[in-house]
């Protein structure tokens, strides 16, 4: 698996030469000075980027890290990318069977721990029952990250997004 990371980057470099499109283990969007970061995968990243742009217009330093390669997990590279954030939210499409968050969340927090990166991190399970995740939902996540940064406590790291309230 360690060799696979090298091969992935070599193939990505060849692909860039042919197509002009550059890919790596993950995509950093507005991460250069991001204080609040949403980590996600797949099409949700488009909604998260749109939301980050809207929040940037309001002066909030929002960023998005879109994971492209899940296995082998690029632990060192992701930890380095997230190291300057003030608060992080990891979005998962399914809850983990471990009762300790979704698969992406547990890999992100493990990567951060093993690379000595300490940033408050919370997990959101979203899209339950096929529900759409909209920009307003992602904006709530960024709002929660700002509150987390203000009070400094992760009282509930496992959260759900977009559930109907009774």
Instruction: State which residues of the chain have pLDDT below 70.
Output: 165-166
Say how many C-beta atoms besides its own lie within 10 A of residue 94's C-beta: 12
**What is the predicted pLDDT for the residue at 121?**
97
Using only C-alpha atoms, what is the Rg of the chain? 16
User: Which residues, 6+ apart, have CB-to-CB distance to 137 below 8 Å?
Assistant: 126, 161, 162
Say how many C-beta atoms besides its own lie within 10 A of residue 123's C-beta: 25
**What is the predicted pLDDT for the residue at 152?**
81
Q: Is 54 helix (H, G, I), strand (E, B) or coil?
A: helix
**What is the predicted pLDDT for the residue at 71?**
96
Query: What is the token pair recorded at 4?
Result: 């696979």
**What is the predicted pLDDT for the residue at 153?**
85
> Is omega for the bond preceding 39 within 30 degrees of 0, making it cis?
no
pTM of the model: 0.95
- Domains for the chain: give ranges and CATH numbers: 25-160 (3.40.50.920)
Q: Which residues pair with 124 in a beta bridge?
A: 91, 159
**What is the predicted pLDDT for the residue at 113?**
98
């Amino acid at each position: 698996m360690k060799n696979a990371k090298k091969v992935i980057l070599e193939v990505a470099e060849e692909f860039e030469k042919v197509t002009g499109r550059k890919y790596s283990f993950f995509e950093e969007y507005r991460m250069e000075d991001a204080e609040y970061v949403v980590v996600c995968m797949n099409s949700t990243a488009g909604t998260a980027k749109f939301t980050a742009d809207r929040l940037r217009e309001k002066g909030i330093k929002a960023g998005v890290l879109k994971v492209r390669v899940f296995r082998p997990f690029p632990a060192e590279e992701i930890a380095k990318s997230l190291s300057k954030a003030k608060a992080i939210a990891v979005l998962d499409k399914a809850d983990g069977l471990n009762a300790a968050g979704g698969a992406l969340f547990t890999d992100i927090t493990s990567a951060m721990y093993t690379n000595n990166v300490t940033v408050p991190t919370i997990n959101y399970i979203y899209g339950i029952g096929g529900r759409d995740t909209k920009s307003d939902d992602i904006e709530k996540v960024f709002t929660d990250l700002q509150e987390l940064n203000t009070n400094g406590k992760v009282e509930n790291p496992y959260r759900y997004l977009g559930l109907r309230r009774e």
